[in-house]
């Protein structure tokens, strides 16, 4: 999870919402990512999506059934769907997302018995640290000390 927090800080430095993710296979990071939606002008460029794509490329297979995804914020429905489709074995996240959480808060897509795959789930790991990074970022945005890329009227 510490590596995911480092990814979140990399997003923060770029003026992106600070969410970071890493995919681990046999104690080795095989994929990493952080939010790049504003930088890439891509609504799918969430930390999880980037980390899953990197892991699949590194492993040479889209099935990540023996991997764990660590992410600083509870995955949204899009990312939870990708987790299911990639057959990720386990998801560990830090802060819960009361507005879009799809791993137990609003929905629990990754453990829905109607889907063809379910992931083990662990929440709250380094949750305070993960949440504090997000709070600091949005506080600085409101204060005008951070200019979010891609936002109307901002650089």
| Residues carrying an active site annotation | 48
DSSP state of 130: H
Residue 76, both tokens: 């949204």
In three-state form (DSSP H/G/I as H, E/B as E, the rest C), the secondary structure along 82-129 is HHHHCCCCEEEEEECCCCCCCECCCCEHHHCCCCCCCCEEEECCCHHH
The whole-angstrom separation of Cα 150 and Cα 155 is: 6
């Amino acid at each position: 999870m510490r590596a995911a927090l480092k990814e979140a800080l990399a997003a923060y430095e770029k003026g992106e919402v600070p969410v970071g993710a890493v995919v681990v296979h046999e104690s080795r990071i095989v994929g990493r990512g952080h939010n790049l939606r504003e930088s890439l002008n891509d609504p799918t460029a969430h930390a999880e999506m980037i980390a899953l794509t990197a892991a699949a490329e590194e492993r040479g297979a889209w099935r990540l059934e023996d991997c764990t995804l660590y992410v600083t914020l509870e995955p949204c429905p899009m990312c939870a769907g990708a987790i299911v489709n990639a057959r990720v074995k386990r998801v560990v996240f830090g802060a819960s997302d009361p507005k879009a959480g799809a791993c137990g808060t609003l929905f629990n897509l990754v453990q829905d018995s109607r889907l063809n795959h379910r992931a083990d789930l662990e929440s709250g790991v380094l949750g305070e640290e993960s949440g504090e990074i997000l709070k600091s970022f949005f506080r600085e945005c409101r204060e005008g000390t951070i200019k979010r890329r891609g936002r109307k009227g901002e650089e």
